[in-house]
Every structure is written in structure tokens, then in C-alpha cells.
Amino acid sequence: MHKQTISSIRRALAAREYSSAELCQHFLDRIDSANPELNAFITVTRESALAAASQADEQLAKGASSPLLGVPLAHKDIFCTRGVLTSCGSRMLENFVPPYDATVVSRMQSAGAVILGKTNMDEFAMGSSNENSFFGAVTNPWGEGRVPGGSSGGSAAAVGARLVPGCTGTDTGGSIRQPAAFCGITGIKPTYGRVSRYGMVAFASSLDQGGPMAATAEDCATLLACMAGHDPRDSTSIDEPVPDYSASLGDSINGLKIGLPKQYFAAGLDDTIAAALQAAISELEKLGASFVEVELPNQHLAVPAYYIVAPAECSSNLSRFDGVRYGHRCDDPADLEDLYKRSRSEGFGHEVKRRILLGTYALSTGYYDAYYLKAQKIRNLISRDFTTAFETVDMILGPTTPTPAFELGANSSDPVAMYLNDIYTIPANLAGLPALSAPCGFSGELPIGLQLVGNYFTENKLLNVAHQYQQVTDWHSQLPARFA
């Protein structure tokens, strides 16, 4: 059962080939067996999952139908879940149990999903390797001793090892797409504002966006349709109709024009990834797509601009964790200042502290104009690069990551090297554009991902191109041998 996609699971449940309870138990058994090695889950909600599966079976028996009825899923531990631990991978929230559900969570439940638990992540979504979690590092199912990517590494590893057929993730600078590439699955970051951020613990509010992670583009289309839509509780949510993403998956891509930024195929890109991308380009050409070179002249400024904007917003958002209202509180504070200092020092990990310091400095008097304001100007330039490119092409194709998954600990002492892992993903976040990563090959035994970036609200086009590609290749259906 674990080798089936969400689409095939939905058909099997409707045909009563097996029950949701049986399916749920199967995945829970796989989690019990594999999670001690992978550390992909922080919390497993066994009892509530089995109860929800039984309820789904009752509805299925009555002929009920909803997009995810009886399908097991999991949520990244950054989404608030009523009555269930929501830790954000941090000691600061190791005992936080929210009294409400995030909009994404409630929409998934309304669609009939059975939630198996909460997946591990870099603390407060800050990281590219999932080594920054208070609950320990996550391991890539494709390579012992390799990172799964971050910050949604727990979700990517869980789907990659087929401990669950689909997961939610969040993407601030590539945190859905980069781990999807490292773990050989499909993940999409929608247009900023397409998915509600209500109940999604904030890292960088102008960049954060929730999205789905699954084996195939078809499954991501199903999940995204359930997640997306306007939410009046989120001031950044866009009131734009949500299309039926699955309905356009069979559209021909004949005549589609795809841009290849020469900046993405320059020095620094691993040779095996470049070769895999060229093979993917050839497959898409056979399907009728054409390719032209495009210029994105300011893309080299994306990483430095991002690491001013994101830490600045992080500094502001995380100021609420002060030991007073909720979250970690130090023992026996001498006074209010001591409470603040020790609670935050004890509650936050090294990477979070680094970004808070960076962001606070960039926002401080005398440096705001020199750093933060300049970074926002660069952000506008990067957005204009994409706007100009989309005047001549329908979407852009490039690598998701510069290298395959690296070894655990390889970049831990070099923050700059770690940050450069997001060099190809960050521009889409700065511009607020939708972007998708799909498997396109292997470097040795490690997966490779290709990235598609589209214009605003063209998620359906990205999903269709990835789906068409997955109809003529099988990279997305391959599993790590030890989890097959």
C-alpha cells in the first residue's frame, strides 16, 4: 500500500479494496519501524489517526466523497494543531499545545484527511539541512549520513521513505523545494498569498508560504487544491479563485516556451545535475516544449538580499517569545531582564540566535537604510528580472540545488556554504512567484531535482509540465531500497 500514490489510494478506498483503518495502520507500522533511524516525526498521533480513519470508513461505506477522505497525511510541525504539540523544532515551544488549528490543517481535515502526526524541521524553519532541530537531525532515506534538506526535511524524508503518502511543508527560501530535491519527491511553493498563513508560526512574514509535498505532481495538485484559497484571518491572503489543478494535468505542452537562465547553468552547478537537467530538457522537447536562453542579471544578489530581509523579519516575529506569555520560561528569574535573557538564550538554538542578531543589527538605527532598505531595493530588481523574462517565456527551468544531498555535519561550521544551498530557490521567494521541484535523475544513489518557476498564479501550468514529464519518466516512482 505504501507504494501507491495519493491518487491511487483514493481510487482504492472508493472501490473498498482496503479500509482507511487498514491503510492508516500500515503507515503507522512503517513509522514505528523507520522513524528511529530517520527521525522524520516529532509527534505521532496514533489514537486520533485510527479514530479518524474509522470515521472515514463509515463515511465511505455510505457513499460519501471528498478529495482526501481516508487518506493518511502529516503536517510539518510549524502548523498549529489543536490539542497536539506544535514545537517548530524548538526548545522554546517543546511543550506548546495550541488551542486552535491552522487554516491549512482545518482545510485538510475538512477534505477528509487522516493526520498521522507532525514532522521534524529546522528550528523555526531556519536551515537548509534539518540539522537545527531541538529534537535531533533528520536523515535522508536515500543515503545514510546524508541530510534531507531543510527546513521541511522531516516532511521530505517521510514522503521519500513512504512513511506517509503526502505532507505539508513551508517554503521561505526554498524549504519545500530543496528537501524535495534531496529526497526524490515533488514539492511546490505556491504564489505568495495563495495559501493562508493563519496558524503557521511565522519566520519571515513576507516570504513564508505553505505548500504540499508528495511523490508526484498529480498528488501535489490534489493537495494544493485543498490547501489554497482566500482566508480573511490572514491579511496577506489573496482573494483569487482557486482553479481545479487536477483538471489541467492532461493539457498538451506543445508550443510551450520555457526559459533557461544562463545564470543558473554557470560555475558552481554540479556536473551530474547539469547532465540530468539536459536529459529532462530533451524529454520535454519531445513533448513539444521549446527552450530559449533568458537573462536574470540580478539573481546573484538574491542570497545576500534574502539574508538581510529574512533575519530582519525573524528578529521581529520571534520577539514574542519572551518567557512571559507562553513558550520556554527559565527557572527562578531574578528580575524581568533576567527572565528575558535566560528564557530566550535557553529556548533558542544557535542558528536562530544568529539570525535574530543579524536581523536586529540590520534594523537598528544607522543601519536600516544601509542594509534592510537596500536589500528591499534588490528584491524589486529581482522581481523585475522575472517580469521581463515572462514577457517572452511561459516559465523558467533550472536546477533546484547546486549539489546533491551533502553529508550530515559537512556545512555545520560554515554558515555561508549552508546558505548557498538555496541559491537557486531564494529568487522565487523574494519575488513571490510559484515554483516547483520534481525528481529528474540521480547522482550516484542520491536524487536530483529540477525546478520550474512560473508567473503569478500559474501553479496549474507548473504542475501540468511536471505531470507530463512524470508520464514519460519514472524518477518520481523510485524508492530507497531499504524502505521499498
Catalytic annotation, residues: 76, 151, 175
DSSP string, 437-471: EEEEEEETTEEEEEEEEESTT-HHHHHHHHHHHHH
* 22 contact partners, CB below 8 Å, separation of at least 6: 1
Sheet of strand 186-189: strand arrangement: 41-44, 114-119, 72-76, 166-170, 210-214, 186-189, 435-443, 446-454, 395-399, 257-261, 290-294
The H or E element spanning position 72 is strand 72-76
Q: Are 187 and 437 in contact (CB under 8 A)?
A: yes
Q: Which three cell numbers stand for residue 311?
A: 533575519
Q: Which three cell numbers stand for residue 310?
A: 529574512
Could you give the CA distance from residue 395 to residue 455 in angstroms, rounded to a whole number? Answer: 7
Q: Are 287 and 424 in contact (CB under 8 A)?
A: no
Backbone angles phi, psi at 220, to 5 degrees: -65, -35
Nearest to 179 by CA among 163, 161, 202, 155: 155
* 308 contact partners, CB below 8 Å, separation of at least 6: 358, 359, 362, 371, 372, 374, 375
Identity of residue 74 = A
Could you give the CA distance from residue 291 to residue 294 in angstroms, rounded to a whole number? Answer: 9
> Helix axis angle, 217-227 relative to 6-14, nearest 10°?
80
Nearest to 46 by CA among 76, 24, 13, 78: 24
What are 260's strand-pairing partners? 293
Could you give the CA distance from residue 244 to residue 73 in angstroms, rounded to a whole number? Answer: 20
